[in-house]
């Protein structure tokens, strides 16, 4: 390995939705690696656009809009701008730095987001989300997901409404082709995606893959991976930067 190309010859499995994986794949290539796109989730616009449109039309009545993910930013902001524009008094918050970055790229300068722990708990710990009794919050997210954010805000006295702006589905994938590529490392960025991967593997495939280094950006995903039996779980920083830094560090060690 060289300092400039620390991933030379290493095959890195990227399991993000295909559209979101392109930039990371290019960065892996620039570091000398070989990206293998294996999208474990497919993201599409929500089918029930009427409900979303009705919710967005009432956004001026809310105090906070919280975006769960970059996908929530993409589809939520598109729905909001199709109906008009963001209400001036609305406070905008994001669960992680990736979502916050997407909001800023969309032209929203002031974003409430955690600076250390990038999850619902991290956002809830911020001062802005403490005194919310009597406030109203709209949470933009995909179909389903964790309820800890909404439940905690309700317990603090806020009125919470979920706006489902995109949906996730599990694409049909050939794990045999993945195994035939003999990857050197796998990256997974959500617990749901990791669950899908585990479900589609038979016993022999699980034995093969779980011995490979698994790079994950959150402790919750790491805990699930260890429960499944993965032997080499590497906890990375958040976003593409964190994942790439961890991959490069590992590449330089090999």
What pLDDT is recorded for position 3?
59
Extract the tokens encoding 95.
Answer: 């669960």
Give the pTM: 0.83
Residue 115 has phi, psi (to 5 degrees) of -100, -5
List of domains in the chain: 11-41+173-253 (3.40.50.10090), 44-168 (3.40.50.10090)
Distances (CA, A) of 208 to 79, 139, 171, 213: 43, 40, 22, 11
Instruction: Average the pLDDT over 108-135 and give the result.
Output: 92
What pLDDT is recorded for position 211?
93
pLDDT at residue 1 tops 50: no
What pLDDT is recorded for position 141?
95
Residues 175/57, Cβ–Cβ less than 8 Å:
no
Distances (CA, A) of 249 to 77, 131, 172: 36, 42, 32
pLDDT at residue 21 tops 60: yes
pLDDT tens track for 142-161:
987 778 999 999 999 999 99
């Amino acid at each position: 390995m060289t300092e400039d190309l620390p991933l030379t010859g290493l095959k890195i499995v990227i399991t993000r939705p295909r559209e979101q994986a392109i930039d990371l794949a290019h960065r892996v290539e620039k570091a000398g690696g070989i990206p293998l796109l294996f999208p474990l989730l497919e993201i599409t616009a929500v089918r029930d656009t009427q409900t979303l449109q009705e919710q967005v039309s009432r956004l001026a009545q809310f105090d906070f809009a919280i975006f769960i993910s970059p996908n929530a930013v993409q589809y939520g902001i598109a729905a909001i701008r199709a109906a008009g524009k963001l209400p001036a008094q609305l406070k905008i918050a994001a669960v992680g730095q990736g979502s916050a970055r997407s909001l800023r790229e969309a032209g929203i300068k002031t974003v409430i987001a955690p600076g250390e722990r990038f999850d619902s708990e991290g956002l809830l710990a911020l001062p802005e989300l403490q005194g919310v009794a009597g406030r109203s919050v709209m949470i933009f997210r995909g179909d389903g997901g964790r309820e800890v954010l909404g439940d905690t805000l309700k317990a603090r006295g806020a009125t919470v409404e979920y706006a489902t702006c995109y949906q996730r589905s599990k694409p049909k994938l050939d794990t045999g082709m993945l195994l035939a590529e003999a990857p050197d490392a796998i990256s997974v960025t959500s617990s749901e995606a990791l669950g899908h991967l585990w479900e589609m593997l038979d016993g022999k495939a699980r034995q093969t893959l779980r011995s490979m280094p698994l790079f994950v950006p959150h402790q919750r995903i790491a805990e699930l991976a260890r429960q499944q039996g993965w032997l080499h779980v590497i906890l990375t920083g958040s976003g593409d930067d964190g994942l790439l830094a961890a991959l490069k560090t590992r590449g330089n060690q090999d």
